[in-house]
Chain A
Amino acid sequence: ETGVTQTPRHLVMGMTNKKSLKCEQHLGHNAMYWYKQSAKKPLELMFVYNFKEQTENNSVPSRFSPECPNSSHLFLHLHTLQPEDSALYLCASSQDYTDTQYFGPGTRLTVL
């Protein structure tokens, strides 16, 4: 695997389910990011991790819970989501907090 990978690519879940999104970067980067891409809205930065430490939480609801166990892996734990949370969730990584970001293919999430 090269670059930034995300699994699953598609996820359908009910509002009472608990699921997790996984991101893995194979670039040796130290910073990782979660973005939300909704229809007709700009990409929204959700969380930033730099050397496994969370450095940014962009007022994201607590039903989204990130986890960064090491610099290569980033998770987004989901619970009791709302239909308006349906979106494409993109992961990105960069060498450090000031460098160019490289994106994964995203997870298309549908909340029923």
Chain B
Amino acid sequence: AQSVTQPDIHITVSEGASLELRCNYSYGATPYLFWYVQSPGQGLQLLLKYFSGDTLVQGIKGFEAEFKRSQSSFNLRKPSVHWSDAAEYFCAVTTGGGNKLTFGTGTQLKVEL
């Protein structure tokens, strides 16, 4: 069965600092990978996705993620964090033939001013 691990439950960074959120997946076939963000009391907003092609994908709000097949990872990065980025971030994986998304447990990001 496919699974997603987000090893960091909480991360605190200073505004303007760089950010990397880790995501590791376990799946035998080629995965479709997603990052979603959830602000308090809100639903999930899609940041970016990887289906195929260039392994470095750009998303909204200045985020990017890199697919590394050898490491089974899809880490999310942002070069300079803004206070408004404070939220919970979810990595998710599915196969190409279906859309049964499997989510990680999320990483709560706190931004210090």
Q: Interface extent on A, as a size class?
A: 20 to 34
The chain B residue with its CB closest to the CB of A41 is B105
A43 CA / B34 CA spacing, docked (Å): 14
Q: Counting CB contacts under 8 A, is B19 at the interface?
A: no
Interface stretch of the complex, out of A13-21, A61-69, A75-83, A93-101: A93-101
- Which residues of A are found within 8 Å of B4, using beta-carbon distances? 42
Q: How far is the CB of B46 from chain A (nearest CB, A)?
A: 6
Q: Counting CB contacts under 8 A, is B31 at the interface?
A: no
* Other-chain residue from A42, A48, A90, A98 in contact with B43 (beta carbon distance below 8 A): A90
Q: Which residues of A contact B (CB under 8 A)?
A: 4, 6, 31, 40-43, 45, 48, 56, 90, 92, 94, 97-106, 108
Q: List 5 A-B contacts (CB under 8 A).
A: A42-B106, A48-B99, A97-B99, A101-B99, A106-B42
